[in-house]
Structure 1
Amino acid sequence: MSHDQNFKNLILDYPFAALEFFAWEEAGNVPPSANITPVRQEQLKKCLGDRFRELDTPLLVEFSSEKKQAVLFLLEEETQTRYFSIYRLIHYCVDVADLLNITRVVPVVVFLRPGRHPLSLELGTEKNTYLSFRFIACDLGEIPAIEHIESRNIVARINLPNMRYDPGQRVEICLRAQ
């Protein structure tokens, strides 16, 4: 089983905890009464020969029965930062927003290993910006594990070994990751 599948399972098993940990900036105040629903991972193709795209874990968070209150979180996991493409992420966001007719979309990328990656993209000219895009980056390898060692959030605890820690702390970190 791949890291990708493990992350999908973790997010689907603990959606509230996953959003709170990976996207606390936007999801820190999601009430327990909110309804979180996994959304179709495979994106529709316009033509049979078009490229196939699959999202890691899109979650629709509905705060009330009003559709305008819904927020779609697109959680993508990247084991190696060199494989990350901000252009691919933009395609995912735009395609799924179009498919679900929703504009409240929060892209979140969970990076397992530290590395360089863009945090935003702006397209335009010197005079105007015509497309501005950014996402929430959760760089696990840069988060100090010690800050989450006593966490009540199960997703944070399970990810302790993926966080930054001193080599001498490895055994303790792994023991606390449950």
Structure 2
Amino acid sequence: MKDSHLHTETVQEVIRGRRTVKKFTDQPLTVEKITELLDTAVWAPNHKLREPWRFIVFSGEGRSKLYDAISAELGEDHKFAGVKEIPAEILFVMKEDPRQVIWDEDYAAVSALIQNFMLAAWSEGVGTFWVTKPFLYAPKFREYLGIKPGERVVGMIYAGYPDVVPKPQQRTPASEKMTVFDS
């Protein structure tokens, strides 16, 4: 997937071409590359430039820290040993605001940032998988990784160079879900 033509794709082509990747090669994804992609992703729209996000990156031997955090919550006998084999994982953490409108704006901003990250990654030949699991909310998991009260993990992204790129799945045309008031 690391073709040079990806750099000339339009935004529309990158959006339509992106796939959720669940099988990665063993080629490492460097922290430098992740940082570069995050530096693009932070251009997500966010109200009053609050930038309500932070990132926890697991790469190389550091992937064991994620496995240990999961084990702290679920015990040693869990089905997530594969996190040590995925080239990198990133937790996208949002500072929660008690005011609902601010919370909603910030959640939307972090979600847009995650999408930016995934699209930037795809344009560079890096596949991603947006994961949400119950353990992301669990007290022992959060404590183990220093996720504080008043913070929410919006998503965990698995990232790496694709071994298998899935075929596209059909999407419902927007016109079938659209209400228009034009007069």
Pairwise same-fold verdict (TM > 0.5): no
TM-score, reference length from structure 2: 0.34
Question: Which has the higher relative contact order, 1 or 2, with Cα contacts under 8 A spaced 6 or more apart?
Answer: 2
Whichever structure has more helix as a proportion of its residues is 2
TM-score, reference length from structure 1: 0.35
